[in-house]
Structure 1
Amino acid sequence: MSFFSLISKSGFIGYTLILLSVVSLAIVIEKIVMFRSSKIVPKDRLKTMVMLLSTNKIGDVIEFCKRNRFLLSEIIIEAFRNIGEISRVNFLNAFEVIARKKVAELERGMTLLATIATIAPLLGLLGTVLGMVKIFGVLDAGTSGIANPQQLSAGIAEALLTTVFGLIVAVPSYVAYNLLQRKLDKLVLEIEQAGVIIANNLKGFK
């Protein structure tokens, strides 16, 4: 029995679950690419910025960030652009506000992934209930004779397959969400630490 025949037997709930699995996979792939440390807080480039700051060359740091675009460099550029009077406190305040906006962009799609992990087994259960309703409907229709075996088989298939598909979608989505959330938490911590390092190396400013 082919995969597509199994999907057709699971009814519209099965097609819905397949759509959710595609959305879930797309989110996971996007986040894996987006959450690479080299695109967020490259350690070598952070060291270069600290070295430039050690010689009090803030302009050079900004130019370096403009030439090397990654998430931390974008935050630093925006922070210096909105800082007003340069000081460690002002920089940290500006950095924190802008970093929150950038982190919110990183989080985009994570809620949807968690929602898919939550509702997939519920949709599977709904499909099971609908399949059972079909089974009882066929049995009730067959009280005056033999129940239709094809309709009975279709109801049983829908009842079982939707539960299976719901779990197949939910389990990987839940695991992926937790792994990606841990990675995101680590990246947020690295961003915060980088902001503190930059602020501490603003020599000559209180």
Structure 2
Amino acid sequence: MTLEEIIVKGGVAIWPLLFLSVLSIATILERLWFWSQVLLQEKNIIDRVSEAAQLNWDLVAKIAREYRKHPLGNFVYSPLQLDEPEPEVFHLALEAAADEELAKMRKGEKVLEVIVALSPLLGLLGTVLGLIKALGSITISDLAGSSASGVSSGIGESLISTAVGLLVAIITLSFYRLFQALWAKRVRIFRKMGSQLEVIYRQRWFEEEILEDFTDNPEDKFGFESKLPRSPNH
């Protein structure tokens, strides 16, 4: 059956179904392009940021700035724009950046949810309207005659809209679940990267605070040594 035959025999419900199918395809293609760009650069960002955080913290902001168009790069760069924030402020900045970037990643999901919900219902509506049309013009006496064949063909045509609605919903739901799985994995990556950066930043902040206290009070040697971590032998 060609597309033209589907449109002709599908009834009035086929037009909103065609609109939803076009909308679904456009949204899926846009999301596929977005996720392909995210996945291509993600490993490189993680490796470079992790290495810089361990060896030279000052390079982290520079590397993250290069990938500001990437969700992970922008997530890392957002708290680093602050001027030497306290660890608590750094933590809040990471959380705010993660929430913003993860929300952007879910773009288009609401559209796909609506399509998944509406497509089968529109298909059923088209089937019901087709059955009403097919059965409304006959009487009981006509069932034994030649008009019965026309009824069966009309019922077959009315089922086209249901088939189209289910097809649109199944394809859309498959990609919707795929995008949800990709998003869930990004949540874990953001948490892992954020925790790693926060631990390193807190350690760096603590060391700088000790050095600053010792510089301001060089005679307070005992107070400085009391802040240093003790070895297991002491």
**Paired position in structure 2 for 1:13:** 13
Q: Which residue of 1 aligns with 2:44?
A: 44
CA distance in 1, matches of 2:128, 2:62: 62
Give the structure 2 partner of residue 94 of structure 1. 93
**Secondary structure, counterpart of 1:139 in structure 2:** coil
Q: Which SS does the other structure have where 1:35 is aligned?
A: helix
Partner AA of 1:118 in structure 2: A
How far apart in 2 are the matches of 1:57 and 1:4?
63
How many aligned positions are there? 201
AA aligned opposite 1:18: L
**Deviation string, structure 1 residues 145-167 (Cα, Å, up to 9, x no partner):** x8989985784354211111111
Q: Tell me, in whole angstroms, the C-alpha distance in 2 between the residues paired with 1:147 and 1:94.
A: 76
Q: Give the corresponding residue for 1:175.
A: 174
Q: Which amino acid in structure 2 is aligned with residue 49 of structure 1?
A: V
1:153-168 alignment, distance < 5 Å: 155-168=154-167
Structure 1 or 2, whichever has the larger Rg, is 2
* 1:9-52 residue CA offsets vs partner (Å, 9 max, x unmatched): 10231121122112112222222222247458723322322332
Indicate the residue corresponding to 1:62 in structure 2.
61
Structure 2 partner of 1:80: 80
What secondary structure does 1:94 align onto? helix
Partner of 1:103: 102
Q: Distance in 2 between matches of 1:49 and 1:187?
A: 16
Task: Report if the CA contact (8 A) 1:116-1:170 is conserved.
Answer: yes
Identity percentage over the alignment? 27
The answer for the alignment partner of 1:199 in structure 2 is 198
CA distance, structure 1, for counterparts of residue 183 and residue 40 of structure 2: 10
What are the Cα deviations for residues 38-70 of structure 1, in whole angstroms up to 9, with x where unaligned?
458723322322332334433x32222222342
Contact 1:138 1:152 in 2 (8 A): no
Q: Which stretches of structure 1, 4 residues or more, deviate above 4 A after TM superposition? A: 37-41, 146-155
- Whether the 8 Å CA contact 1:10–1:161 is kept in 2: the answer is yes
Instruction: Call closer, same or farther: CA 1:134–1:119 in 2, change over 3 Å.
Output: same
Give TM-score, length-normalised by structure 2.
Answer: 0.74
Paired residues for 1:104-183 under 5 Å: 104-139=103-138, 155-183=154-182
Q: Distance in 1 between matches of 2:56 and 2:110?
A: 42
Q: Any conservation in 1 of the 2:45–2:73 contact (CA below 8 Å)?
A: no
Shift of 1:124: 0.7
Checking the alignment, whether the CA contact within 8 Å between 2:13 and 2:161 is kept in structure 1 is yes
Considering only aligned residues, what root-mean-square deviation do their CA atoms show, in Å? 2.8
Aligned-partner Cα distance in 1 for 2:52–2:8: 63
- Aligned counterparts of 2:161 and 2:169: Cα–Cα separation in 1: 12
Secondary structure of the equivalent of 1:76? helix
Q: Tell me, which stretches of 5 or more residues in structure 2 are unaligned?
A: 207-234
Equivalent position SS for 1:159: helix
TM value normalised by structure 1: 0.83
Q: Is the 8 A contact 1:40 1:187 kept in 2?
A: no
Asked whether the equivalents of residues 37 and 187 of structure 1 are also in contact (C-alpha less than 8 Å), the reply is no
Amino acid at match of 1:14: I
